Homo-oligomer: A and B are copies of this chain.
Amino acid sequence: MAKEISRMLLIIPEIKELLSQNRKDELKDLFYEYEPVEVAEALKEFTLKDRVILFSLCDIDFAADIFEKMDKDNQLTLLGAIDERRKSDILDELAPDERVDLFEEMPEEMVARFLDIMEKEKARDARELLKYEPSTAGGRMTTDFAQVQEGLTVEETLGNLRKTAKGLEMVYYVYVLDKDNKLVGVVSLKDLILAEPKERINKVMHTKLITIPVDMDQETVAEEIAKYDFMALPVVDNGKMKGIITVDDVIDVIREENTEDMYKFGAAGRHRENYMSMKPSFIAKHRVLYLTIFVLMDFFSGMILKNYSFALNSVVALAFFIPLLMDTGGNAGTQAASVMVRGLATGEVRIKDIWNVVRKEFIIGIMIGVVLGLIALIRALILQKNPGVTLTVGLTMIVTVTIATCLGSFLPIVFKRLGFDPALISGPLITTIVDITCLIIYFEIAIHLLGIV
C-alpha cells in the first residue's frame, strides 16, 4: 500500500557504529529524536543481543511506548531476553489494553508469572480485562481514561485533569461519573477551555451519550466510532463506566476485519499476526480444508460429464468450449459476489435490499451475457464450423453469465440473513457452484439444439 520512508532506517549504520564504540549517551539522545514506532521498526534490524542493549538505554516510559509498537512476536522475544526487574517495569508501564493483548498471546502459566511480578493494582486491572472476549468492546478497551466526579466546577475539573493527564493516552474527553461510577455525562477538553471556570461541570457536560456495551462485537464498535466521528467512546456495563475505546483502536479493528474478509473471500483460511511468520504447514492446513470441500463439490462436475459423455462422444468439439464457458461463468459470479460482500460490509447494501439487488444483477447479467455471448459466438464460428455448436456456445454464455451474476449477488445476502459472514461466499466457492450449473446448461442446450440422443 504505502511507500513508507522510515527516517530512522537511514541511520542504522550510524547506530551500529555508536554501539560498537559503546557511546551510550549519544545513542540515547539519538533515539529520543524519533517517534516510538520508528525506533520499534529500527530495532528489528538488530540482533537480539543488540536489541536488548539498545532497548535498555531508553527510560521506562519511552521504552514502554516503543514496546507497544512492536509486533507480538518481537515483544515476546524481547521480554524473554531482558532481566526480571525491567520486565516488570515494562509490564507496569504498558497501556492496559496493550498489556492484555500481549497476555492473550501467552500460555496461561506465563501470564500468571507476569501477573505476580506486576504492581498489585495493575495486575488486578489486567485480570479484570482478561475476562472479556478479545474481540468484544471489553477486550479492546483501555481502562485508563480521564474522569471526574459530578458536581465539581470547570476549574476543579481542569485542576484534576492536570494531576492525572500525564499517564493518560486520551485526555480530550473527560467522563463525568456519579458516586456509583455510573456515567452521567461527558465533557471535551475543548468545552472545558471554552467554559467559565466557575461553572458547574454538570452544566457544561453533554448528556446525550453514545455508549458501547461491554460485550459489543469489535466490528460493530468500529462502525459506531467511525459513524459518529468521535475520538473515543465510553464502554459501559449496566450503566457503569468500564473503559474507553479510542479511534486508533478502531483503525486496527477495521484493518483486521478487512484482512479477515479478504482471506475469507479468497477462501484462504485463517489469518494470524503476520504472513511472513506463519508456518507453511499452518497455512497449507487451512487452505487445503477449503479446497477439499470444493474438490468434493466438483465430483458432481465429473458425474455430469460422465452422464453426458454420449454427447461428447458424438460431438467432441463440444469439449473445446468447456473451459471458456466455465471460466467466464465463474468470473462473472466472482465479480458480483465481491461487490456484494463489500457492499454488505460497508452497509451500502442491506438485507432488505435483496430483491432490488437480484433484479439489478439480473439486468446486469443479461447485458454482460449478450455481449460475451456474441463474442463467444464469433469465436465458436472461427474454431468450429458447426452452426449448432456455435449457437449452443453463445446461448450457454448468456444463460450462464446471467445465472452466475444473480447467484453471486444473492448468496452473500442470504448468508448474512442466516447469520453467517457473507464473505464466506468466496470467489472459489461461487466459481465451483457456477461451473457445475454451467455444465448442465451447456449439455442440455447442446442435446436439444444438436438433436443428440
Contacts and interface: CB of A to CB of B under 8 A. Distances in A.
A334 B372 contact: no
A337 B281 CA distance: 18
A303 to B, nearest CB: 8
A449 to B, nearest CB: 19
A379 B303 CA distance: 11
Given A348-B276, A367-B280, A228 B37 contact: yes
A165 interface: yes
Interface string A184-210: 000001100110000000000000101
A326 B288 CA distance: 16
Contact of A189 (B189, B224, B372, B432): B189
Given A287-B364, A379-B302, A435-B327, A224 B2 contact: yes
Nearest to A318: B319
Interface string A346-373: 1111000100110010011001100110
B364 A295 contact: no
Interface in A261-317: 261-263, 265-269, 271, 274-276, 280-281, 283-284, 287-288, 290-292, 294-295, 298-299, 301-303, 305-306, 309, 312-313, 316-317
A269 B342 CA distance: 13
A343 B344 CA distance: 23
Contacts of A251: 226, 247, 250-251, 254
Contacts of A228: 35, 37
Given A194-B162, A431-B327, A1 B345 contact: yes
A132 B224 CA distance: 31
A34 to B, nearest CB: 7
Contacts of A220: 1-4
A161 B338 CA distance: 47
Interface in A402-434: 426-428, 431-432
Nearest to A255: B346
A262 B259 contact: no
A74 interface: no
A334 B1 contact: no
Contacts of A166: 194
A323 B337 CA distance: 21
A172 interface: yes
A325 B448 CA distance: 28
A419 to B, nearest CB: 11
B302 A309 contact: no
Given A321-B302, A368-B284, A189 B161 contact: no
A215 interface: no
A427 B336 CA distance: 12
Given A338-B268, A339-B275, A368 B302 contact: no
Given A193-B162, A368-B287, A295 B376 contact: yes
Contact of A347 (B4, B33, B292): B4
A270 to B, nearest CB: 11
A337 B375 contact: no
Contact of A326 (B266, B326, B338): B326
A263 B158 contact: no
Given A158-B193, A346-B255, A334 B427 contact: yes
Contacts of A432: 327, 331
3 shortest interchain CB distances as A-B pairs: A266-B338, A2-B223, A331-B428
9 contacts: A1-B219, A4-B220, A171-B190, A229-B248, A263-B338, A266-B338, A266-B339, A295-B372, A330-B431
